[in-house]
Structure 1
């Protein structure tokens, strides 16, 4: 069961913030045919949620991307989708202008083809997008990715607190460790925040060193993790089958 202080987030029939961390698989195919094929394959997998990384799609016109969300929904009507545009400065594949970023994600909210959106917490349009999503009753994952380092426990705690105060439904933090102590710091920050923040957290240490953080969320308080079913969308992502095996090995007994 989820801690009483945590407001869980329900995406279709998947409850984030309760029980074993949910497994999210990203779609990164550059063309429509391969994207839809991968989506159909995922329907036969145990992935809980699908994330479409729209920044990896070859045709980046907003009209094309919005049409793809409609096709994805038709292909996988009963599987939750997260719509994500990861900008270049956050490790993504699109050097997108600020206005285009806001307009595209706002349009996807209005279209209601996706089940949640990712909003980069440091983006200048973040507050506007969160307000737009609230009007459309669209859950928001407020995210921050640091590919240059990890920072102290207190810095990561402050980051998660700041994201939470923005009014999002889920707070996500990904950092890049340079030593084992960095991974331990990320896990410590997660456990600390999970004890009192009112929303589910998704945290991870990226790269080879951080792999343990991708399977130990139930212990430390991360409510979801990312796994591959094809190409990875971030360093250190593990194959879906390996993540599920790791989660089973570390699963806590029910009360």
Structure 2
């Protein structure tokens, strides 16, 4: 049985763009397992329009048996989000309280106290916490990545995700090796990505619990279309 779930990322900037992604995803409904809503993509919209878009995605794909991740990626982590730390925390806690999601993505570098406070709300609403860290310039050392995992474990995350930009093939191999080792240590809860063309092979790594793909437009360097991912991660392995 294949243990890697395919996440399709919706990164549209308004309701029309998201609706186009919804239509495309419905036409490829068997090619993914989870929908990731990237709230930072439509950061310029008002609060009610933001909520309406999120609810539309949730209602559409929950009815199809898909899980939902809500992510708001800040600019410091490579996203389009411009919210302050206080606004970021309030948004994620509000999403947990109002929305029928399965996972909330929390950037671990936002601060341990803030992570704990968001996690408390997520726990109260039976939402799993995906702790993430992204670096679009470099790849950390083995020791730094292992320390990151320890922090994520101390914070009791349900999924640990790290994504780095490689500068060499050695960076890619380091990520692959660490994912495999971390899975042995922490269980089937690791997502490790080396971005860009150089690291594309890591998106096909079966040691990761999730792999992220796109349906209309890529949301990160090196993302692969979900139809190609499904060929590598069939619903049932032979």
Q: TM over 0.5: same fold?
A: yes
Alignment match, 1:197: 186
The equivalent of 1:11 in structure 2 is none
Distance in 1 separating the partners of 2:162 and 2:156: 16
CA 1:166/1:58 → structure 2, altered by over 3 Å: closer, same or farther? closer
- What does residue 74 of structure 1 align with? 59
Q: Deviation at 1:164?
A: 2.0
Q: Determine the structure 2 residue equivalent to 1:234.
A: 220
Distance 1:116 1:186, change over 3 A: same
Q: Report how many aligned residue pairs link the two structures.
A: 231
> Whole-Å Cα distance in 1 between the matches of residues 47 and 153 of structure 2?
29
| Alignment-derived partner of residue 87 in structure 1 | 74
Match of 1:120 in 2: 107
**SS in structure 2 at match of 1:74:** helix
1:125-140 to structure 2, matched below 5 A, reads: 125-140=114-129
1:35 to 10, 18, 21: 18
Give the CA deviation at 1:74.
Answer: 2.3
Cα distance in 2 for residues equivalent to 1:236 and 1:43: 23
User: How much does 1:58 deviate?
Assistant: 5.1
Unaligned runs of 5+ in 1: 2-18
Which shows bigger deviation, 53-62 or 128-137? 53-62
Give 1:246 shift: 3.5
Q: Distance in 2 between matches of 1:180 and 1:55?
A: 31
Determine which structure has the larger helix proportion and give its number.
2
Matched, 1:65 2:36: no
Cα shift readout 1:192-234 (whole Å, capped 9, x = no counterpart): 1110114511111001110000012x2xx21110111111111
1:181-192 residue pairs with structure 2 within 5 A? 181-192=170-181
Distance in 1 of aligned mates of 2:237 and 2:74: 36
- For residues 30-57 of structure 1, the C-alpha deviation after alignment (integer angstroms, 9 at most, x for no partner) is 1112212311321231111110101011
CA–CA separation in structure 1 for the residues paired with 2:62 and 2:126: 18
Q: Which has the higher contact order (CA 8 A, sep 6+)?
A: 2
Contact 1:40 1:75 in 2 (8 A): no
User: How far off its partner does 1:118 sit?
Assistant: 0.5
CA RMSD of aligned residues (A): 1.9
